[in-house]
Amino acid sequence: MDYQPFTSSSATDHPVAFINPQAPLLDLLTYAGLRIRAARDMLDSLTDMTSRHADHLDLQRFSSVATLLLQDGCDVLQVAEQQALQLPE
């Protein structure tokens, strides 16, 4: 079974986080959806903030976390799409 490293795992010389492309399609979609919705909700919270309520470091942290969540979700969604293309019609 060939596990695929998360894109975010490329920050190191040796990937440590992987996607199981053999996982059931529903599990892959659930995982991707959770991460994408978490990033959406966090970014939605940012829309209520003003520069007076958050400093530069806070905004940078929110941005980094949202990027990681979205990248992981998109990586898994890509694997789910590949798996769905292989389903018999």
Q: What pTM was estimated for this model as a whole?
A: 0.87
Distance CA 1, CA 24 (A): 14
Q: For residue 4, how many other CB atoms are within 10 A of its CB? A: 16
State the residue for tokens 């905004």: 59
Structural tokens at position 31: 């995982």
Helix 56-85 and helix 25-47: axis angle, to 10°? 160
pLDDT tens for residues 28-87? 999 999 999 999 999 988 887 766 677 788 888 988 999 999 999 999 999 999 999 988
> What is the pLDDT averaged over residues 17-31?
96
